[in-house]
Amino acid sequence: THPSSRFKVASQSDDTGRFVEDFRTWENNSYYKQFIYESPCAAVAGLLMESSISRLYHDHLLVKEVNTKQITPWHQDQPYYNIEGNQTCSFWIPVDPVSRYSTLEFIAGSHREGRWFMPRTFMNSEAKWFPEGTLEEIPDIEANRDAFPIIGWSLEPGDVIAFHMLTLHGARGTMVNEGRRRVFSVRFLGDDLKHSPRTWATSPDFSDITQQIKPGASMDHPRFPIIWKASQ
């Protein structure tokens, strides 16, 4: 069942390691589907979002091999998507030990401002989504790390990070003296999330169902099942 047709290499060919991604794997992998439906993640997301439901948006598999130099640039998740609203929750779930150096880092509280920053491709910073100049550019966080409230943790299998889809986050590569970094990410939507069709291919791509959900309507579609309800 791996890789899917959505699999992609996210590192340069001359990288000393390798960074790969896959999306929407639950649609073809029964183990991932079982985890999404049976783990506490959906219920926890509902409580964190203060929502009456947790609706699956998509999953995201991320693997950085040993000594991968490719970073995950600072970004927000939501500008890459076809949704509008505030009740969102992403889980970052490592299945390998993750050092503080290689972990996912966040700008604490950055989601509360409601700002949308320009989404760009990770490898070459192309604007493949919103047109150039239509959204605010992300500041140079790496060059001014002391100026931002950056948080992050070393992690062990069983640890989980939950964050809002407008939270600025990013990650460095992996070090020579640590193992591969395999992460399963699952993203949930709450009550107020609405369909916002785009004229470009989102990441992941949902263009095949653009006409099946009205603009401004709830994301009520088999692709986005409700996993948890508050009454449960």
Give, for 30, the enclosing helix (H) or strand (E).
helix 30-38
Compute the average pLDDT of residues 184-210. Answer: 93
Compute the average pLDDT of residues 109-114. Answer: 93
- Strands (DSSP E) found in 65-193: 72-75, 83-84, 88-94, 104-107, 150-151, 161-163, 169-171, 181-189
Q: pLDDT tens digit string along 171-194? A: 988 877 788 999 999 999 999 999
Q: How many CB atoms lie within 10 A of CB 172?
A: 19
Residue partners of 15: CB distance under 8 A and separation at least 6: 68, 69, 70
CA 147 to chain centre: 24
The CATH superfamily label for domain 8-229 reads q2cbj1_9rhob like domain (2.60.120.620)
Beta strands 88-94 and 181-189 are antiparallel
Residue partners of 78: CB distance under 8 A and separation at least 6: 88, 116, 165, 166
How is residue 71 written in tokens?
């970073």
Q: Does 123 score more than 80 pLDDT? A: no
DSSP tag of 26: G
What pLDDT was estimated at residue 179? 86
**Residue 143, exposed/middle/buried by CB under 10 A (0-12, 13-18, 19+)?**
exposed
How is residue 191 written in tokens?
């009550």
Compute the average pLDDT of residues 109-125. Answer: 87
Count CA atoms within 13 Å of residue 122 on its CB side.
24
Residue entry with tokens 């150096």: 101
Q: What is the band of 201 on the pLDDT scale with cuts at 50, 70, 90?
A: confident
The pTM of this model reads: 0.93
Domain boundaries, the chain: 8-229
Q: Does 18 score more than 60 pLDDT? A: yes
Q: Sheet holding 150-151: strands in order across? A: 72-75, 169-171, 104-107, 150-151
Compute the average pLDDT of residues 27-44. Answer: 96
Which amino acid is located at 88 in the chain?
A: T
What string of H, E and C letters represents the secondary structure of 38-89?
HCCHHHHHHHHHCCCEEEEEEEEEEEECCCCCCCEEEECCHHHCCEECCCEE
User: Percent of the chain having pLDDT more than 70?
Assistant: 98
Q: Does 32 score more than 80 pLDDT? A: yes
Angstrom distance (rounded) from CA 15 to CA 131: 29
